[in-house]
Amino acid sequence: MTNKGQIYCLLVVDDEDYICSIVTEALSATEEYQVVSFSDPRKATDYLEKNHVDLVLSDLVMGDFSGVEILDQALRCHPDCIVILMTAYPTVNNAISVLRKGAYDYLVKPFKLETLKSAVRRGFAHQSLARENLHLKEQLALYKLSEAMGEATDLESGLKLAAETARSIFGSGAISILVQEKPDQPATPLLVQGKTTDEEAEAFLRGDHDLCAAALDKMEAESESREIKGRTKRIRSLAAHPLISRGQAIGLLNIVAEDPFMQIKPGQLHLLSIIASKIASAIENNRLYNYLQESYLKAITALANAIEARDGYTRGHTDRVTVLAELIARRLNWDERRLSELKMGCTLHDIGKIGIPDAILNKPGQLTPEEWRCMEAHPQLGGKILEGIDFLTPAMPYILYHHEKYDGSGYPNGLVGTEIPIEGRLLMVVDTYDAIVSDRPYRKGAPPERAIEELELYKGSQFDPVIVDILVAVWNEGRIKELAIYADRSPRAVNV
């Protein structure tokens, strides 16, 4: 069985010229076979070094040269090569020995040409299955990479997966992923895996190599060979593939294969292209995500500024409340994502005050009952303002529930105990602490000891006792006094 249309390269080695001729003539009758023969085994080893070979037919004894050397050389240069040895002096030991070394078959001279052709056909069928198996393994590796990169939560782990997949396909070489921050800037390493023993290869991995600049336009690959002990050896292969996003190069995927017999094959370069496109997508997605995060932070800052511009009394209040709330949330072992949501929620908790008339919001005295009712609408007003903005949804519990009291006497819904989301219970405590210690138009802020007394007094009625205990603990540890936001005692006022 052979793949239709594929040309197979066969090498025949026998120190008897007439054997070379007969075998070559017999096999050349098949159109798919391209046969080269050598009666000098040393020329055959050089040929194996420099040319692609699918199948080798070699005599076992050629003067002082053993066919086992041809076998070794063939498998070193072409690991999936089929090698069939021929001999006129068969022994069981010889046969077992060469088969153990990786020969596919062992023919005893003289043999019928049909026997030879049949052995070659079986050899190619075996090779075809092995290659198909390898191809499927590579596809499986790519499939696993696609799945894993889809699940990767951060860019670094996604890139590591891609690099490991590339190294598994290209053998244990070294790999680097380089990125360009801007089109006119050089690509610099984002990730390097594996080591090389050569300074030039190291420079290539860092992007400091002629191939790298050229590879930003199209894929570049080269193999370097050297004369070692009178023989030409391939000592290293380099391949650099551009990372393309929206039609533009944004970096490079560089591979160094330092195995002297490793040759990067066209099929592997195709796989390299697929991996490079996955890496480019991951980098671009990360850039877009960061851009979105920056835009969202700017939006939040603008909204927070809008609140403070409207309400002179709350100047600095949101910052202080945010810092204090984070101090307590860390004691509650909240993770970084939750802490980031907490900052958003604390920053925006009074956003609804934008809808409260100036005359009430900035009244320099006590509010009337009616004015209080208006003021008490600010949590729900805030909820309405941010309704439908998905990325601000985590701020909602802070906005809606920061005036709910533990015993149900708060507003807007009169929720009781743990009915109130923890975000609201936490903000209620720190909001009150800051309100007590802050100046109002009609009174100076109270000393912090007074705020602690107040929180202790209403612990379990107005306030969640667990949160109060944590705040009191951090106060006793001196952690609140250490905060720069409470070191500044210049006049300020707060309406909560």
Q: Which residues form the interface with Fe ion (CB under 5 A)? A: 350
Residue 27 in tokens: 């096999």
Name which of 14 and 350 has its Cβ closer to Fe ion: 350
Report the nearest approach of Fe ion to the CB of residue 404 (Å): 11
Name which of 103 and 496 has its Cβ closer to Fe ion: 496
Name which of 234 and 320 has its Cβ closer to Fe ion: 320
Name which of 23 and 386 has its Cβ closer to Fe ion: 386
Report the nearest approach of Fe ion to the CB of residue 370 (Å): 18
Name which of 350 and 454 has its Cβ closer to Fe ion: 350
Report the nearest approach of Fe ion to the CB of residue 193 (Å): 52
Report the nearest approach of Fe ion to the CB of residue 375 (Å): 8
Report the nearest approach of Fe ion to the CB of residue 349 (Å): 6
Name which of 245 and 318 has its Cβ closer to Fe ion: 318
Name which of 258 and 350 has its Cβ closer to Fe ion: 350
Report the nearest approach of Fe ion to the CB of residue 350 (Å): 5
Report the nearest approach of Fe ion to the CB of residue 219 (Å): 59
SS (H, E, C) the chain: CCCCCCCEEEEEECCCHHHHHHHHHHHHCCCCEEEEEECCHHHHHHHHHHCCCCEEEEECEECCEEHHHHHHHHHHHCCCCEEEEEECCCCHHHHHHHHHCCCCEEEECCCCHHHHHHHHHHHHHHHHHHHHHHHHHHHHHHHHHHHHHHHCCCHHHHHHHHHHHHHHHCCCCEEEEEECCCCCCCCEEEEEECCCCCHHHHHHHHCCCHHHHHHCCCCEEEEEEEEECCEEEEEEEEEEEEEEECCEEEEEEEEEECCCCCCCCHHHHHHHHHHHHHHHHHHHHHHHHHHHHHHHHHHHHHHHHHHHHHCHHHCCHHHHHHHHHHHHHHHCCCCHHHHHHHHHHHHHCCHHHHHCCHHHHCCCCCCCHHHHHHHCCHHHHHHHHHCCCHHHHHHHHHHHHCCCCCCCCCCCCCCCHHHCCHHHHHHHHHHHHHHHHCCECCECCCCHHHHHHHHHHCECCCECHHHHHHHHHHHHCCCCCCCHHHHCCCCCCCCC
Report the nearest approach of Fe ion to the CB of residue 402 (Å): 6
Name which of 186 and 357 has its Cβ closer to Fe ion: 357
Please give the residue whose beta carbon sits closest to Fe ion in the complex: 350
Report the nearest approach of Fe ion to the CB of residue 348 (Å): 11
Name which of 22 and 367 has its Cβ closer to Fe ion: 367
